[in-house]
Structure 1
Amino acid sequence: MRILMLGNSLTFANHMPQTLALLTGAEVVQHTRGGARLSEHLNPKTKLGARTQAALRDDHWDFVILQEMSHGPVTSSKSFFSSAERLCRQIRENGAIPILYATWAYEKGSVKLTEKGWDYEEMAGKMSAAYSKAADENQALIADVGQRFYELSGTQNLYAADGVHPNEAGSRIAAEIIAAVINQYKEKQP
């Protein structure tokens, strides 16, 4: 099994792709850059975009995981939905299954959350709604890591010191949820 992960630092933090490889037994390749948006993966004029476009055109994948920049689904929703649609189409043309890696709201009380002028529940709700809508519109699977962060927010610290990135426990939960989505999908196949 081969998995391609398209994302940014929320994907590669704490060696999460390697953890996913251990959990699934798959070869996991990551095309990531800190701060990258999904739209960059569509742009062959960028280094990251050229790599991704070549990989989707020339290589075989079983699953391709899409992760948008941390607040992109809320602040740049038009670009997020358009990029998700175009990438999901390319992923299906490749013969792979698209999975949206739904990320989380910034940590309660964090500087980044305050800077955006949001409260935690508002950002969590908007992130979840955007990823769910993109998954529904594109018949993609969803690994709703953000929802799990929300459920555990009162009992477990899943954030790095910046209140944006996951700590090791957060990255482990992300890998476990993505692996579970893949395994559930595979179990349903004839």
Structure 2
Amino acid sequence: MKRLGLLFLLLGAGIAHAAAQSSGNTSAERPVLRVLLIGNSLIYTNNLPGLLRSMARAQDAGPLFETETYVMPGAELARHWKSGAAAKALEQGHWDFVILQERGGLLACAASPAQKEQDDCRNSLRAHRRFAELAGRHGARVLLLGTWGPDAAWQDNLDRGLRQVARETGATPVMAGTRLRAREAESGGKPKSLFTDDSLHPSLPASLIVAAVLYREMAGKPAHAANLRLDFPLLPPGTRMGDNLPLEHNEALNALARPVTLGADELPPLLEAAQTDH
């Protein structure tokens, strides 16, 4: 994993690195799934949508992904709903999947009858319902991307809250945070292996695990190890975002891309972590 950490540092600093072509099959005959992502820095750090597209391209078969991503630092889903840009995109485009990612550990509140009555929690639940209802009217399947807490007790509340929101909205919970914490425990509890120095944002290995978890859910099968061409910027946590501009259309940020190829030999333990049920 040292190479992955070095790769993240180099790209975050904007240092160019020579690229090789990956062996992914990009045949036009493969189906294309359109994915709308709505969330905050836990999505844009390391460019999770780009990792999803790259992972799909690298497979010998299965769907390709086309993404559009609305993210703001520290944003709650209620803020996205109020902004209106993500809802407008959902209403006007044809989407196969909508991925909702709430701020940090906020959804732990849904596991507590008392906390559910607090304003932040009520606003979050209302935003989840509104996005889910809108997605349902337009034939899109909603995935709730689970985040991670600072310890096992918090993670348990967060996971229970996520499942509760999934039951209330008819969405599918994606327990990515649980997978990351399990992987961390297996590696001896070394947070720097999966998280940045703030112990909150994902490192590149962590983002790859999350991408593999989402890939499995949307493609209906696990990803296999293959060279990944990363032709998009691996964004650091503090990157500034526009409220109404999709990440994929942000020319200033995308100009920072320094294409590299991540070798298939780096991926097996990360893909295994994504496939293990906990």
Which of the five TM-score ranges fits, normalised by the shorter chain? 0.7 to 0.9
- Asked if the contact 1:141–1:181 (Cα under 8 Å) also holds between the matched residues in 2, the reply is no
Aligned to 1:125: 156
Per-residue deviation, residues 122-172 of structure 1 (Å, max 9, x unmatched): 211111011111112222112110110121122333111100100001111
Aligned to 2:122: 78
Q: Which letter does structure 2 place at the counterpart of 1:167?
A: S
d(CA) in 2 for partners of 1:83, 1:51:
14
d(CA) in 1 for partners of 2:196, 2:85:
29
Aligned to 2:145: 101
Aligned to 2:50: 18
Distance apart, 1:182 and its partner CA:
0.8
Aligned to 1:134: 165
- Asked if the contact 1:14–1:168 (Cα under 8 Å) also holds between the matched residues in 2, the reply is yes
- Asked if the contact 2:78–2:124 (Cα under 8 Å) also holds between the matched residues in 1, the reply is yes
Distance apart, 1:121 and its partner CA:
1.5
SS at structure 2 position matched to 1:2: strand
Distance apart, 1:99 and its partner CA:
0.4
Aligned to 1:69: 103
SS at structure 2 position matched to 1:14: coil
Distance apart, 1:23 and its partner CA:
2.4
5+ residue gaps, structure 1, are 44-48, 107-119, 186-190
Distance apart, 1:22 and its partner CA:
1.9
d(CA) in 2 for partners of 1:163, 1:99:
25
Aligned positions of 1:21-170 closer than 5 A? 21-24=53-56, 25-43=64-82, 49-74=83-108, 76-106=120-150, 120-156=151-187, 157-170=193-206
Per-residue deviation, residues 33-65 of structure 1 (Å, max 9, x unmatched): 11110111211xxxxx23112101211111000
Alignment equivalent of 1:7, drawn from 30, 34, 39: 39
d(CA) in 2 for partners of 1:141, 1:21:
21
- Asked if the contact 1:142–1:181 (Cα under 8 Å) also holds between the matched residues in 2, the reply is no
Distance apart, 1:86 and its partner CA:
1.3
Larger Rg: 2
Aligned to 1:113: none
d(CA) in 2 for partners of 1:180, 1:79:
30
> Per chain length, whose mean CA-contact separation is higher, i.e. which structure has more relative contact order (CA < 8 Å, sep 6+)?
2
SS at structure 1 position matched to 2:68: strand
TM-score by length of 1: 0.83
Aligned residues: 167
Aligned to 2:116: none
SS at structure 2 position matched to 1:35: coil
- Asked if the contact 1:63–1:97 (Cα under 8 Å) also holds between the matched residues in 2, the reply is yes
Alignment equivalent of 1:177, drawn from 213, 231, 244: 213
Root-mean-square deviation (CA, aligned residues, Å) is 1.5
- Asked if the contact 1:77–1:130 (Cα under 8 Å) also holds between the matched residues in 2, the reply is no
Per-residue deviation, residues 56-99 of structure 1 (Å, max 9, x unmatched): 12111110000000122135432222221111101111211100
